[in-house]
Chain A
Amino acid sequence: MGNYQGMMTIVSRKELVKDVYEMVLEGDAASFIQAPGQFINIKINDSLQPYLRRPMSICDYDQHHIKMIFKVVGEGTKILSEKKIGDQLDCLTGLGNGFVDLECQKAVVIGGGLGVPPMYKLAKDLVEKGVKVTAVLGFNSQNDVFYKEEFEKLCPTYIATMDGSLGTKGTVLDALKENQIEFDKYYTCGPEKMLDALVMAYPHNGYLSFEARMGCGFGACMGCSCQVKTKPYKRICVEGPVLHSSEVIVNG
């Protein structure tokens, strides 16, 4: 188990597309991350407002760095986006289970919107293991697309946009079918509706990373418990965020 707190310093910050920021944090707490798909929980400032930490997915990491990509959707992410290089953040890192089963021949990594970032380090690790990887990235529109080139450097990459302005018109499922992508395992993160659609289409061979409103992020408050087929419940922050497709209960 690696749930640890540390101060991390912002060493780079850039806006990728409108309201979507990439930030690199530097500090020893990065070394507690053990698998792609684990997350980081950040105290945005020292004040009581905003009160709770903000859980963020991890796009890439090494022993000393964490790269994250987030969208400004509210007060906390707004404050975070305005931080400067050199600012420090109180972080809990290495939270959750992450993607640990990378055993397969042909993998497809499927990211939807802000579910794209955690697919990046995962794709890197899969490629490094010699797995044949394909990426499918879904966005609302061409203007929202980010990390296309980064993925293309790693593996064949297909884009789906809801308005059809780039790649397949429609969802990531449409792109999977249109491009006849073969895979024996899929890995995904994205909006719950997208994850539900994938579970219904491919119930047996996928790992899905879920999002939830969290109180603590480390298993204490039970704020993010979800019902699964294999146990009475799992906490998204500890036994998740990654669940196997066979245990997911689709809420409809």
Chain B
Amino acid sequence: MKIDDKKRVLREMVLHRRFEERCYQAYIERKIGGFLHLYPGQEACCNGVMEAARPGHDYVITGYRDHVHAIKCGADPKEVMAELYGKETGSSKGRGGSMHIFDAAKRFMGGYALVGGPFPLAAGIAKAIQLKGGDEIAICFLGDAANNQGVFHETLNMAALWKLPVLFVCENNLYGIGTSIERSTAVIHQHKRVAAYNIPADECDGQDIEVVYEHARKAVDHVRAGNGPFFLELMTYRYRGHSMSDSRGYRSREEEELWKQRDPIFILRDRLIKEGAITMAEFEAIEKETDAYIENEVIKFSEESPEPRVEDLEKYVLADRDTQLPWLTGKAA
């Protein structure tokens, strides 16, 4: 990665971390309802892959741990936070919530809350790209536990069969909700599971963004060149529980501390300091600026935005009736 890109991404990753931590606080304050799945610890995964891809051009789809993926694709953090607040100005107009962030204009095709559900949707997006003849690719970010769903295998089979331009990124954070991968999955290293479908696969450290980037570049190039799907496994860790109701009784604090010593933001920060690209004081300034931005703009916007109107409860269930009349009434022109 170029030095300027690394500096920019460091700033982005700080935003992603602080955004999520601020969500945590807002949840405690009951400003955010429902379920909340946070991303700290895994930032190098999304950032490393998307630096190798083309955010806003390539289509991205993921599960319910989706805030950072949306922002990385270009979604406005203000709209993402407003969605968590359930406001009309939210990315899904307050109808989706944390697990259903969407930004179609930025080609972020959404967060979905059924584990594994996005697999076939991603392949379908790739099918549409194939039919239309564009140079985009579909990127599907999911966790390791999703690979125990049947649609994982069904999708890999079809993606390979039809040579669909889809990159499957497996963020292997070692836990499916509160069950460790050793206790749920016969194969720890997920890339081994795709060999059966003749799909090329790779695995690397998911904590060092430069490592992720190098591996992702090869993966993205492979898919974009029309060679069909690719599967990239990134070994990573989520610091917080699966969701907010999770007290992490299934793992030790020692294990968590061990992973925090390989924090993706600190790895990049320390490297940039060592390379003389930034100073510690500059990094701390980035953190302060980020916190100020989140407080003064993101939170302020979310707090001050209006709620959806109850009269609009049924809006968006179906397409606007007026636009569909020929087919609903049979009176086609």
Pair from one complex:
no
Give the B-binding residues of A (Cβ under 8 A). none
